[in-house]
Structure 1
Amino acid sequence: MLQRFFFIVLMLLTALSSCKKESKADAAFYYWKQTLTLNKAQHQLLQEVAQGKLYLRFFDIKWNSFAGKAHPEAIISFKEPVLTEKIIPVIFITNQTFEKLSPAGVDSLAMQSNQLLQHLAKAQKINYQQVQFDCDWTLGTKEKYFRFLKTFKVLSHKQLEATIRLHQIKYQVRTGIPPVDKGVLMFYNMGKLSPDPKDPNSIYNPEDAATYISYIPKYGLPLDIALPLFSWSLHIRDGQIIQVYGKIGKKELSKTENFQPTAHKNVYKAVRSFFTGGIYVKTDDLFKLEETDKALLEQAATQLAEHLNKEEQKTIIYYEIGNLNLSTFKTRDFKEISAHF
């Protein structure tokens, strides 16, 4: 009788495991610093988590008011050989560029951008098949931005991707769907930066996310997912945010000679006036720390995965590896988070 019981349990476990759908998602990292230089630990993480797949920001395009034209900035420099063959170039374009650009200048910008990208990639012997564009377009700029994408596609003969914000998911009829092969949903920066210590984390919080995610299955493009790895501190003085600092984290805020914790979680008050890293901190200034850790990413992944089709192949892109605190995340963490998709 006992043997029969164990046999039934074994059969049930086997059936359940066979019904469980394996994740088809793979992983990748962004690299957003101007100089490409990865240390040994970063190289190891890139290989173990993403098999070397790296979304590399090549340059920004901004409007130069003095010259009256669009201009490339922060062009990537390579201080080491490219050790991975899985490079996807990323180009960031400010919305102001398309606000200022004439319709006739759109095609010219697409041509110049393609030429610069080809030149940079050829110099490093990077053979890319995709290009990703990051631009937070608006109703007033969508026609010019979409024309830019169409022209770039014709010139480059590459697969194109575009970053998509949550509001562009929810209001896709108004904001339009970019003419690209795939979108990349930026699942972060969903709340407003707030000086109120009681307000939630603006990088990710489930309440703000819940107002958008039900619209995701209806979006008109297949979507990859971008998740945050960054944290920052909001510098607050007299009830106003005066700056946001990525380099001031818990380690700096835990120095008792400079700060003391307040009654609010992750909010610290300066106990004296001083300088740190060229930043002036005044007595009674507040620093509101908004962090990203594994627990937050697990919560985000769990909430988001419920609205995605696991049968669709997708990439989970983590932003970003260049400034990642390697003591905070391990290889196993990323594999467990990606497994939700």
Structure 2
Amino acid sequence: MKKLLYFLLLFLIFNCKDKTPKEHTFYYWKTNLALNNEEKTALQNAKVPLLYTRFFDVDIVAGKFQPVGVITKDASFQTDKKIVPVVFIKNEAFLHINKEEIKFLAESIHNLIQKKSAELQLNTNNELQIDCDWTAGTKDDYFKFLETLKQISGKQITCTLRLHQVKDKKATGIPPVQKVYLMCYATSSPLENSTKNSILDVPTLKNYLSDLDDYPLRMDIALPIYSWGIVTNFENKHKLINALTIQDLKNNTNFIKISENTFKLKQDGFYFGMYLSKDFTIKIESVAQNDLDETLAFIDDKISEYNIIYYQLDRRFLKNYQF
């Protein structure tokens, strides 16, 4: 009996995963840097000493690279976290790009980050993160851009990693960085006709990440804590309203609740920055805490060491989750 108990104890020791909570911080994705009391408290309680902050997007305008939505700062934005600048680049920017344009893009991004960091007096660390949904057709030029940005900036360059880039890593390639940030959301398009939650459908995520333990780079995990509204018109076409909540619709008497998370509009008008017609519907998608828990349990079985970056730091969503 003693031997049996001894072997049972050894089995439990070597087969039980470490379930201690992972450390976390947040993405900050608003154009104007500002923090209210709830956001300051959540950020102060986060033990990772970094805040991943979107500085600007890069788009192609009239055939030229153009920064879009460059950040500004409010006096309320005060934190002891070091800022990690994040730049989103549309994948289209790397279609038909040449060597000189790659260098120009890397120099322009580095210079604008340096300028905004000094102008806004931001305490940045030695990391620059690039967010781009690269594909098999753009990987070579995108990877060359990452290498060029590292040479020009002298910084540690990291990048985001989407689900399909894990599943199809042979086609999309492995980026030339030391670390990636796996985006565990956007499991499908919100503009498709589907009954699945397009922000996070856990079975879909598990399918994409079945071979996650084979991915050769160190990674942290980005998890969604946001919601949005999917507008459907008479032709069954869809538009997206970011950061819309069920409470926003409940607070507006021009919307009638027709199901658990879907509302119908009672009259034409401008709502949430968009003109909508009577009888249009809006479906609110959000992420339940148990879906986040199930996602983390699945990832724990694949990789052992990682931090969590919640997307995004916004008081409207903080109250709905446990950190």
By the TM > 0.5 criterion, same fold? yes
Please show how residues 282-297 of structure 1 align to structure 2 within 5 Å: 282-297=277-292
Match of 1:328 in 2: 320
Question: What is the aligned counterpart of 1:175 among 166, 169, 172?
Answer: 172
Distance 1:112 1:277 in 2: 34
Match of 1:33 in 2: 30
Corresponding position: 1:155 with 2:152? yes
Tell me the matched-pair count: 312
- 1:282-340 CA deviation, whole Å, 9 max, x = no partner? 232121111124233223223333222x2x3x2200011046434323xxx11xxxxxx
Structure 1 spans left out of the alignment, 5+ residues: 1-7, 335-341
Please show how residues 224-303 of structure 1 align to structure 2 within 5 Å: 224-254=220-250, 257-262=253-258, 264-303=259-298
Q: Counterpart amino acid of 1:78?
A: K
Contact 1:27 1:53 survives alignment (8 Å): no
Flag the 1:125–1:188 CA change in 2: closer, same or farther, 3 A.
closer
TM-superposed CA distance for 1:125, in Å, is: 5.2
TM-superposed CA distance for 1:93, in Å, is: 0.8
Match of 1:3 in 2: none
Flag the 1:221–1:257 CA change in 2: closer, same or farther, 3 A.
same
Q: Counterpart amino acid of 2:162?
A: R
TM-score where L is the length of structure 2:
0.87
Flag the 1:174–1:224 CA change in 2: closer, same or farther, 3 A.
same
Match of 1:113 in 2: 109
TM-score where L is the length of structure 1:
0.83
Corresponding position: 1:79 with 2:74? yes
Distance 2:59 2:252 in 1: 41
Contact 1:227 1:316 survives alignment (8 Å): yes
Match of 2:132 in 1: 135
Distance 1:91 1:166 in 2: 19
Q: Counterpart amino acid of 1:174?
A: A
Contact 2:57 2:68 survives alignment (8 Å): yes
TM-superposed CA distance for 1:241, in Å, is: 3.2
Distance 2:182 2:243 in 1: 26
Contact 2:231 2:282 survives alignment (8 Å): yes
TM-superposed CA distance for 1:194, in Å, is: 4.8
Contact 2:130 2:159 survives alignment (8 Å): yes
TM-superposed CA distance for 1:195, in Å, is: 5.6
- 1:155-179 CA deviation, whole Å, 9 max, x = no partner? 2222221101100001101101111
Flag the 1:61–1:257 CA change in 2: closer, same or farther, 3 A.
closer
Distance 1:273 1:254 in 2: 17
TM-superposed CA distance for 1:96, in Å, is: 1.5
Flag the 1:138–1:48 CA change in 2: closer, same or farther, 3 A.
same
Distance 1:22 1:200 in 2: 29
Match of 1:337 in 2: none
Match of 2:206 in 1: 210
SS state at 1:325 partner: helix
Match of 1:126 in 2: 123
Q: Counterpart amino acid of 1:87?
A: I
TM-superposed CA distance for 1:248, in Å, is: 3.4
SS state at 1:70 partner: strand
Structure 2 spans left out of the alignment, 5+ residues: none
Corresponding position: 1:190 with 2:182? no
Contact 1:195 1:236 survives alignment (8 Å): no
TM-superposed CA distance for 1:211, in Å, is: 1.6
Distance 2:282 2:21 in 1: 40
Match of 2:219 in 1: 223
Distance 2:231 2:72 in 1: 31
Flag the 1:215–1:177 CA change in 2: closer, same or farther, 3 A.
same
Seq. identity, %? 33
